[in-house]
Amino acid sequence: MTLAAIGLGSNLAHPRRQIARARYALTRLPRTRVLAVSRNYLTAPIGTTGPQPDYVNAVAIVDTSLTPRALLARLFEIERRQRRRRDPDGPRNAARTLDLDLLLFSSRRLHAPGLSLPHPRMHLRGFVLVPLVEIAPHAAIPGRGLASRALRAVRNQRVVPTRVHVSR
Amino acid sequence: MDLSKRRYVVVEGPIGAGKTSLARELALRFQADVLLEQPEDNPFLARFYEDRARYALPAQLTFLFQRVDQLRALTQLDLFRRPTVADFLFDKDPLFARLNLTDDEYALYDKIHAHLKPQVPSPDLVVYLQAPVPVLTERVHRRGVEYEQSMPESYLARVADAYTRYFYAYDDAPLLIVNSERLNFVDDPEHFELLTRRIAAMRGRREFFNLGQSA
């Protein structure tokens, strides 16, 4: 009933496999249908100290009758399931292998603890805008105008499609 | 286009016309809710395309109940509180039933339909996507849904013809008839903008939109 956009990102533990698993997990969400998923894109991490592997990013459009909160809770659940197992001797906050962001929820605009809609920084992020515009070329971001226009403003960010999908 | 002035917009047309893509794009642009068909939830549809005579009735009844359920859910959710874009008219159901059922089956279908009495609101605008049958065939092949690949062109032609006749007599809502043959609303931003401007400017009960026509 409501179209939502979800951002997927990973840069640890076989990122493309993480994204592929997350894509599948989205198809199993209750009261939700996946309408489109973008290709995978590679993005070099920006603003990090020390070297980090590239990110793999994608965006999915779903049709859902869940509330934004319920959908977000389900996304956290998927993240949790795919979080790297913690090594008891390792650092306390083991890095997350998967990030799922609720980017858009139709016209919904809200600022609440833990949930802002639309995602407050999505219009600045090439790795969100490129895959979003691939599958939803005419999408608008509430309060920000067209996604394609926002994309033109960040075209200096390097976001390149990966060659193939990992099918699993 | 200000969709808020049109609470309920329906994109219709034969198989392969591009209804779902356009409905989705309109909803994402104008932040409307969507009401989309769920063909993948119809367990008889794939079998229907293999053996149309045998599986037409269960496929048709499944769609009928699916639509009744969707309507019920909408009614509970305070129908069309937000602008809504749909990729089907509820009338599509009897249209396909007439096309695919034998007379006896249709009589049965009709009884069930009358019994369920779906209370359907009239749309504020219907966008009817037309395209020549070879174009529809090519699009159906290109989108590559497995069970649709065995669909003969003759069937698509009958569906397209049924839509032509249906909309010839249609007068429930303002109707924009779009010749989508040379239009690509998904990939060509100009085509999409032209269409939305055309919708915004529409005042009559029945208008036509072709490529090359000014908006």
| Cβ within 8 Å, pair A142-B31 | yes
pLDDT for the residue numbered B213: 46
Q: Choose the closest CB to B29 out of A2, A61, A138.
A: A138
Within a domain: B79: yes
Task: List the single residue in A with minimal CA-CA distance to B192.
Answer: A138
- Residue linked to tokens 């779902």: B20
Q: Which of A67-71, B173-177, B186-190 has the lowest mean pLDDT?
A: B186-190
- Residue B215 pLDDT exceeds 50: no
Within a domain: B131: yes
Within a domain: B61: yes
- Residue B73 pLDDT exceeds 90: no
pLDDT tens-digit series, residues B95-120? 999 999 999 999 999 999 999 877 78
pLDDT for the residue numbered A88: 54
pLDDT for the residue numbered A49: 64
CB-CB neighbors (< 8 A) of B195 in chain A: none
Interface test with A, best of B1, B25, B28, B79 (most A CBs within 10 A): B28
Q: Choose the closest CB to B24 out of A1, A3, A142.
A: A3
For the segment B89-96, the average pLDDT, to the nearest whole number, is 92
Within a domain: B215: no
Tokens of B95: 């249209």
| SS3 assignment, position A145 | strand
Within a domain: B214: no
Structural domain count of chain B: 1
Within a domain: B16: yes
Percent of chain A with pLDDT over 70: 85
Q: Which of A105-119, A150-164, B83-97 has the lowest mean pLDDT?
A: A150-164
CB-CB neighbors (< 8 A) of A36 in chain B: 24
CB-CB neighbors (< 8 A) of B36 in chain A: 33, 35, 63
pLDDT for the residue numbered B96: 94
A84 or A113: which leads in pLDDT? A113
For the segment B86-91, the average pLDDT, to the nearest whole number, is 92
For the segment B125-130, the average pLDDT, to the nearest whole number, is 96
CB-CB neighbors (< 8 A) of B29 in chain A: 138-140
pLDDT tens-digit series, residues A47-56? 666 667 788 9
| Cβ within 8 Å, pair B24-A140 | no
Q: Residues of A near B (CB-CB distance < 8 A)? A: 1-3, 5, 33, 35-36, 61, 63, 65, 104, 106-107, 136-140, 142, 148
| Cβ within 8 Å, pair A2-B33 | yes
- Residue B12 pLDDT exceeds 70: yes
Which among B18, B125, B32, B210 is positioned nearest to A107, based on CA atoms? B32
B202 or B120: which leads in pLDDT? B202
For the segment A25-38, the average pLDDT, to the nearest whole number, is 94
Within a domain: B170: yes
Q: Choose the closest CB to A1 out of B24, B31, B34.
A: B34
What is the domain extent for residue B52?
3-209
Query: Domains in chain A, start-ordered, CATH in brackets?
Result: 2-161 (3.30.70.560)
DSSP state letters, chain A: -EEEEEEEEE-SSSHHHHHHHHHHHHHT-TTEEEEEEPPPEEE---S-SS--PPEEEEEEEEEE-S-HHHHHHHHHHHHHHTSPPPPTTS-SSPPPS-EEEEEEETB--EEETTEEES-TTGGG-HHHHHHHHHH-TT-EETTTEEHHHHHHHTTTS-EEE-SS----
- Residue A10 pLDDT exceeds 80: yes
The CATH number of residue B104's host domain is 3.40.50.300
pLDDT for the residue numbered A96: 60
